[in-house]
Chains A and B, each alone.
Chain A
Amino acid sequence: MQNSTIQAAPLLEAVELTKVYEDGVKALNNLNLVVREGEIYAMLGGNGAGKTTTINAFLDFIQPTSGKALINGIDANALPLEAKKHVAFVSENVQLYPNFTAMQNLDFFVRLGGKSHYERLDYERALHRVGLQSEAFDRKLKDFSKGMRQKCGIAIAILKDAPAILLDEPTSGLDPKAGKEFTRLVAELRDEGKAILMSTHDIFRAKEIADYVGILNNGELVAEKTKAELEGVNLEELYVEYMAGYMDEAPVSGSLSNNLS
């Protein structure tokens, strides 16, 4: 569907997004990216590259120094309450409220997201969908493993049913099986038409499911590839080259550098 001639309107859009922290660290430098309906955009980049900063800008957790983060066309920093109606978020290492059961956590966050018509059955369905065993539904979160908590996190995002989803390293720390299941879920959500922006260190999974892969280095988007462009390319090599090349201020061997966005 992303190949249709009339492109869908961007649901997540960073426009010349720049963030300089108070201590002078330039975490984002003129970042431009677009995620449309039914697309997964994977941000790759080393530690401190600016991935989390990007996501934080969309959630109004930081005020950009210049530029804009738009959700469904709404400036997330100017109208945060309006913008956040259209986005769901799953953080790295979801913890939720440890004294609440899975159900109670779901209920609280989903209501906070503006959906108050759900019933227990809907929650159960969502938890089933993310693969949580029924016996855990009414257990307190403090006894949950990381994988189980992450499942609750994505269930909340699913139930919020927002057109855009932000995922910050959602699979970090999950075992391979849980990581695979999670990736499958994300792909499903994309197929339902969600616009998904995720940061990750998992190059293989990114290549597997992403429609766009962006490589960030020192707050700059140094490469952006479509799925088609990555066909047959060893993304890991590419990634390392970009990272190394950029640091040496002498980017990359010939043919690939043309694809710099």
Chain B
Amino acid sequence: MFKFIFIKELRDIIQSSRFTISFAVCSVLIILAFVMGAQNYLSSKAQYDAAIQENRNQIAAHTEWMMVEHSITLPPQPLMTLVTGVSNDIGRNIAMSGRGELRAENTRFNDEPIFAVFRFMDLEFIFGIVLSLFAKIFAYDAINGEKNRGTLKLCFANPLSRANFIAGKLVGSFVGLSVALLIPILIGCALLPVLGVQLTTDEWLKLSLILIAGILYFGVFLAITIAISASTVKPSNAFLIGLVVWIFAVLIIPRTSVLISGRIVDVPNIDEITAQKNRYRTQLFDEDRPKMSNFQLPEGTEIENAMTAFQSFMSDLASARQEKIDVFNARLNEEYSNKKRAQEQLALSLSRISPTSVFTLVTTQLAGTSLNLQHNFMDEAYTYQNAYADFMQEKTGSNRSSGFRMIMITTGGDEEEPEPLDPDELPQFIFSGQSFSEAAQAGMIDLSLLILFNLIFFGGAFRAFLNYDLR
């Protein structure tokens, strides 16, 4: 009996004009998402290559390591092709210094605002918005439509159990629609290498998990829709209720959770922090001011050495100040980033009551374009900072930040023609990102949540139908 209903459901889907039209639209959108995503990635990649080259040229144009303004750049994640995530929103360049704070700058949207306009056309959007709507359009009258047509009565005039009917219906529509969706998606995947996006094995594995998450997400909305259909009599009501649910799940909950957590966890904004840092710097300077005005040359200093003595006095003061500032800033930064992460975590947890948020979280985690991308980039940049500082120490004898370089230049007195710098001498910044197993682990909670949502709503649809009035 299950089999008959299952097959009937498949056939009903495939033969309906509703399916033909929405399948065509979805296929076009999906393929388009792949093509546009690939272009987005390739142009990011080109920018990245250009930035790296520019940095090398800049280094090679110098003869003194002291003069170099080295910066590191975040390479684009190949899977941003399908799941853009935050990759266009976060700063990609960090101007390196031997010590102190680092700041990522130059988001993609800064350079090319057009991407801010078209950001929504990635596969994650297509799944998140379009496919959930597709599920709604498809299944809003799955049960009550059959009731209104009288086919429900006709079916149940036969020795057919409700359980078999609803199970066949749920499984049939899920399998039918997701296989249909997988066709353009797999075509898109096969197109990736042709479009110029080369993926490693790890990335292919991540991609398949992303697709699984997509199908699970689709299943959630399908089940919700069928559950609504099995709890209402009029399809038009079911459609309206479904639309309201959809608006909340897809549009409202993910946004409000950010606002709510913003209220709950009070994070000072970055300008306040900068102001605080500046205040502290000024305060320290003011404290040093009396010392400076009371500066006395040590007894018996030659007049020609007076300048040097003063400079070294000032420089000692400055470095003592800088040390305090560094400690202070480090504390502020840590506090800030802890609060920020707590806020993010809260926002994400709150938003998880919506399957759409869960889906976004799991896909961005898998694609390596979640908020963690920014954190990882900063973390790896700070690690790199040590190697960079050591290198600079070795090359220049100073690991200070650039404010002090003038001193060294004036003392340099070589006659021979200086050699241009070799950029390859610098330690390389290699952004390692996440391996498949790391990404899978990070996404596991949300993937399980999607499965849980499926169980809940498929179960709900099942239960609703067991009590449905067949007449």
Contacts and interface: CB of A to CB of B under 8 A. Distances in A.
B315 interface: no
Interface in B117-146: none
A156 to B, nearest CB: 8
A84 interface: yes
Contacts of B149: 95-98
Interface stretch (B158-166, B225-233, B371-379): B158-166
A89 interface: yes
A61 B152 CA distance: 10
Contacts of B11: 99-100, 104
Given A94-B150, A99-B15, A112 B471 contact: no
A110 B137 CA distance: 30
A113 interface: yes
Nearest to A83: B159
Contacts of A61: 153, 156, 469-471
Nearest to B5: A112
A79 B150 CA distance: 23
A211 B176 CA distance: 49
B151 A96 contact: yes
Contacts of A59: 153, 156-157
A233 to B, nearest CB: 34
A93 interface: yes
A113 to B, nearest CB: 5
Interface string A105-119: 000110111100000
B16 interface: yes
Given A108-B8, A114-B159, A91 B1 contact: no
A81 interface: yes
A81 B154 contact: no
B157 A84 contact: yes
A61 B470 CA distance: 6
B159 A82 contact: yes
Contact of B153 (A88, A89, A98, A112): A89
B19 to A, nearest CB: 9
A112 B1 contact: yes
A108 B471 CA distance: 20
Contacts of A91: 150, 153-154
B4 interface: yes
B150 A95 contact: yes
B252 interface: no
Contacts of B17: 99
A113 B157 CA distance: 8
- B interface, size bucket: 20 to 34
A27 to B, nearest CB: 12
Contacts of A153: 154
A99 B19 CA distance: 11
A111 B161 contact: no
Contacts of B4: 108, 111-112
Interface string A74-93: 00000011101101110101
Contact of A113 (B8, B153, B158, B471): B158
A84 B154 CA distance: 11
A88 B157 contact: yes
Nearest to B7: A108
B155 interface: yes
Contact of B151 (A60, A85, A95, A104): A95
A195 to B, nearest CB: 15
A108 B3 CA distance: 11
Contacts of B151: 95-97
Contacts of A96: 149, 151, 154
A32 interface: no
Nearest to B160: A112
A85 B159 contact: yes
Interface in B152-202: 153-161
B12 interface: yes
A160 B156 CA distance: 13
A89 B156 CA distance: 10
Nearest to B16: A99
B159 A84 contact: yes
B437 to A, nearest CB: 46
Interface of B: 1, 4, 8, 11-12, 15-17, 149-151, 153-161, 469-471
14 contacts: A59-B156, A60-B156, A61-B470, A81-B160, A84-B156, A89-B157, A94-B150, A96-B149, A97-B151, A98-B149, A109-B154, A113-B159, A114-B159, A156-B154
Given A61-B469, A89-B157, A114-B159, 14 more contacts: A59-B157, A60-B156, A61-B153, A61-B471, A84-B160, A88-B157, A91-B154, A99-B15, A100-B15, A108-B4, A109-B158, A111-B4, A112-B155, A140-B15
Report the 10 A-B pairs with minimum CB-CB distance, sorted nearest first: A89-B157, A99-B15, A95-B149, A81-B159, A112-B158, A84-B159, A99-B16, A61-B471, A113-B158, A95-B150
